[in-house]
Amino acid sequence: MTDEGLDRRRFLGGLGAGAAALGADVAEAAEPAPGVTAASPAGGPPALAGYQFLNPDEAAFMEAFVDHLIPADALSPSGTELGVAVYVDRQLAGAWGKGARMYLQGPWRRGTPNQGWQSPMTPADLVRTGIAALDAHCRRVAKLPFERLGPDAREDAVAALAQGKIELEGVASKLLFDTLYALATEGLFADPIYGGNRDKAGWRLVGFPGVIATHAQDIETYRGRRYDAEPMSIADMS
């Protein structure tokens, strides 16, 4: 048994066979040899179901959007399967979506790009307005809502949104994209306690070990060597 093996065993100890098996997959994954695949859906607790903020049309858009950004493939299940759409919904339903810790007093002016967010809308209102405007755009251009577009048409729409090239009613397309993109990546990589990153699949994807972090010895022991551990979340430690 190598030192590395001993160390992995220390981290895997007491986690049960399923988790250990996942850890073993990750350990070997110098190149994509995934711990979690679309064919073997995410382990761990079931994803949260149901939406607090998004209405059914908005939810259909959000699921299609996060699945376009985070498609199911050999590296992970899809964004929706990982709870990313639920994560976004909970953020929009909660204090952040309602503009907590933002200065929301007028008067309102468009401002320069250097002056940052000057929308009178809360993030939740902005996303709601933006989804409706994008839906109208897709129906006008392609006669279909975003979620019913084919993969290439979806890619065109997302790319145009990212570049701020779509004229949307009531909201700048770049601002909408940046907001949605930030939410989706948070949903993939934030602690699973927020509803996304199911079974820590985002952390497994990159090799982030989570909340356990006592590396005073490891920083020398693993200098230049890959460190693998079963990632630990807040719930795992609580």
Partner 1 sequence: MATRLKPVDVVIVGMGWTGGILAKELSDAGLTVLGLERGVNRTTEPDFSVPMIRDELRYAVRHELYMDVSRDTLTFRNAARETALPMRRLGSFLPGEGVGGAGLHWNGQTYRFSPSDHSLRTRVKERYGAAFAPEGMQLADWPMTYDELEPYYDKFEYMAGISGQAGNIRGETIEGGNPFEGPRSRGYPNPPLKASLSGVMYEAAARELGYHPFPRPAANMSRAYVNPDGMSLGECQYCGHCENFGCEANAKASPHITVIPAAQKNANFSLRTQAWVTRVDLHPDGKRAKGVTYTDVRTGEEFEQPADIVALCAYGLGNVHLMLLSGIGAPYDPDTETGVVGKGYCYQLTSTVQTFFEDRNFNPFMGAGSLGVVVDDVNGDNFDHGPHGFIGGASIINATTHGRPIAYRPLPPGTPKWGSEWKAASRHWYGRSTSIGTQGSNMASRGNYLSLDPTYRNAFGQPLLRLTYDFTENDFKQSAFTTKIAHDIGRAMGPTHISPLAPKSSSYSIVPYQSTHNTGGAITGHDPKTSAVNRYLQSWDVSNLFVVGASAFPQNAGYNPTGAVGALAYWTADAIRTRYLSAPGPLVPA
CB 150 within 8 A of CB 142: no
User: Which part of the chain contacts partner 1 (CB under 8 A), choosing from 14-22, 56-64, 67-75, 135-143?
Assistant: 67-75
- Which residue number, 14 or 224, has a Cβ lying nearer to partner 1? 224
Q: How far is the CB of 205 from partner 1 (least distance, A)?
A: 5
Query: Could you say whether residue 2 binds partner 1 (CB under 8 A)?
Result: no
User: Which part of the chain contacts partner 1 (CB under 8 A), choosing from 41-49, 95-103, 129-137, 140-148?
Assistant: 95-103
Q: Which residue has the tokens 């990313």?
A: 84
State the DSSP code for 146.
Answer: G
3-state secondary structure of 73: strand
Query: Could you say whether residue 73 binds partner 1 (CB under 8 A)?
Result: yes
Name which of residues 165 to 194 contact partner 1 (CB under 8 A).
181, 185-186, 189-191, 193-194
For 188, the token pair is: 């993939």
Q: Using alpha carbons, list the distances in angstroms from residue 115 to 80, 109, 111, 118.
A: 34, 10, 6, 8
Helices H / strands E in the chain, number of each: 9, 0
Query: Could you say whether residue 96 binds partner 1 (CB under 8 A)?
Result: yes
Give the other-Cβ count within 10 Å of 102's Cβ. Answer: 12
Q: Which residue has the tokens 């985002």?
A: 202
Name which of residues 110 to 129 contact partner 1 (CB under 8 A).
111-118
Residues at the contact surface with partner 1, assessed by CB under 8 A: 29, 31-32, 68-71, 73, 75-76, 96, 99-105, 107, 109, 111-118, 155, 158, 162, 181, 185-186, 189-191, 193-194, 202-203, 205-211, 213-216, 218-220, 222-227, 232-234, 236-238
